[in-house]
Structure 1
Amino acid sequence: MSPIRLILADDHVMLRQGTLAMLARETDLAVVGEANDGAEAVRLAEMLRPDVVVMDVRMPGMNGIEATRQIRTRLPNVQVLVLTAHDDDEYVFALLEAGANGYLLKTAPVSELVHAIRAIAAGESAMAPSIVRKLVNRVSGRKTAQPEDEFEALTSREMEVLKLLAQGMTNKQIADTLIISDRTVQTHLSNIFGKLGVNSRTEAILMAMKRNLLRAP
């Protein structure tokens, strides 16, 4: 099986090289490029077509938000995992709306980073617990009037899957919670994406919040 191909985008060379050294221990991961800023990350992504770009936020020139937006627009098959020291709301929601598939803080252990990369490469999302809480808080702070025509577009089971998705659960965790197979979860997710007009788990959560389909747990 081919390794997951990565680009690391971070203007702090020592941190980037340290991350590279840690990821090099994993036989199923391969760093194929390094970028000092957002513009270089976009250029390398277009040239190398990696599976995942591990993206910092604050970089000189083009920042991680704009780089994420350009990569996800031009290269929809390339996933973006944000790895940053910043968890300010303005960064979090701007990056998720730009299409980021995951958001981790640099305080996360290496095992969590590796797990996140594998999850994102498999089409799932990966969020730090603090980011999940921000999503839930955003949901709880919104008006909960139900737009009937949009609400009825999702079945009760699809709504259950969507709520668990918003809690940051993986496909397997959702399957275990609902006592269904992983394949059934994937089918529900495909139906949810189609009905909400989105292409990823993160986009589904954000769209559901905009449509007031989710309530805080």
Structure 2
Amino acid sequence: MINILLVDDHAIIREGYRALLAKQTGLQVIAEAADGAEAYLRFKECKPDLMVTDLSLPGIGGLALIGRVRQRCPDAKILVFSMHQNPSFAVQASRAGALGYVTKSSPPDVLLRAIFEVHAGRHALSPDIAQALALEKLGSERMALEALTVREFEVLRLLVEGRPIEAIAQTLNISQKTVCNSHYLIKRKLGAASDIELTRLAIRLNVIDLLELTDAGKAESQ
């Protein structure tokens, strides 16, 4: 029996996939979490055989969660199940320690197959991501984006959302000096002379889209 920790901030999505997994022989969801902090606690408490997690989570993001789990348990089996079809997210998830990456637009059997593959210690990608990664050799900007470390990628994502340095430091549990250093390195690696250029580049490379940026701005003003 493969015991699974299911992490997603949408209760309806968790309910749907919990029902799907419950129908499969040899799979059971033993715990759920709606954000990164809760997921880390559940992982410590339940010690699941495999964690299936989204990347877009409140507070501690999915990449930071994967890093913390792998730091605590280096052989943890982690499968990312995300709406993001940008292959750069799959690259960063792999660098953080995930063995698999499946998009939410994939058929259910792709997710199920990936669960068994990752549990067996093998890498697994949904076909759309595998194809996108194969084409990912093109473009110097995309290559520069993939050159970012996991921490730099997370700092970039939060910066272009308009988060202040203090908030980024608290979210990622690092010092403000480290955030500033990462900010400088990100701009240098991506060839961005200003934060405006950095934001435009992030939008162009689908790190964040205009709708997400608008929603983040509205949330900050409330």
TM superposition score normalised by structure 1:
0.60
Helix, strand or coil at the partner of 1:45 = helix
* Partner of residue 118, structure 2: 120
**CA offset at residue 139 of structure 1?**
5.0
Matches of 2:138 and 2:72, distance apart in 1: 33
Contact in 2 for aligned 1:87/1:105 (Cα 8 Å): yes
RMSD: 1.7
**CA offset at residue 112 of structure 1?**
1.4
**CA offset at residue 36 of structure 1?**
0.4
- Alignment match of 1:50 (pick from 11, 30, 48): 48
**CA offset at residue 34 of structure 1?**
0.2
- Alignment match of 1:136 (pick from 110, 134, 137): 134
Per-residue CA deviations over 1:168-202 (Å, capped at 9, x if unaligned) read xxxxxxxxxxxxxxxxxxxxxxxxxxxxxxxxxxx
Q: After the TM superposition, which parts of structure 1 deviate over 6 Å for at least 4 consecutive aligned residues?
A: none
- Alignment match of 2:60 (pick from 62, 87, 96): 62
* Partner of residue 97, structure 1: 95
> Is there any run of 5+ residues in structure 1 with no aligned partner, and where?
143-217
For these two proteins, the number of residue pairs brought into alignment is 140
What amino acid maps onto 1:37 in structure 2?
Answer: D
Helix, strand or coil at the partner of 2:25 = coil
Per-residue CA deviations over 1:71-107 (Å, capped at 9, x if unaligned) read 1121123211000111224422221110111000111
Helix, strand or coil at the partner of 1:81 = strand
* Partner of residue 215, structure 1: none
**CA offset at residue 17 of structure 1?**
0.6
What amino acid maps onto 2:25 in structure 1?
Answer: T
Alignment map for 1:55-204 (pairs within 5 Å)? 55-138=53-136
**Which structure has greater helix proportion?**
2
Per-residue CA deviations over 1:41-77 (Å, capped at 9, x if unaligned) read 1111111111110000111111111001111121123
> Is there any run of 5+ residues in structure 2 with no aligned partner, and where?
141-222
What amino acid maps onto 2:126 in structure 1?
Answer: A
**CA offset at residue 27 of structure 1?**
2.1
Greater relative contact order (Cα < 8 A, sep 6+): 1
Contact in 2 for aligned 1:51/1:77 (Cα 8 Å): no
* Partner of residue 20, structure 2: 22
Contact in 1 for aligned 2:5/2:29 (Cα 8 Å): yes
* Partner of residue 9, structure 2: 11
- Percent identity of equivalent pairs: 36
Matches of 1:122 and 1:135, distance apart in 2: 23
What amino acid maps onto 1:68 in structure 2?
Answer: I
**CA offset at residue 140 of structure 1?**
6.7
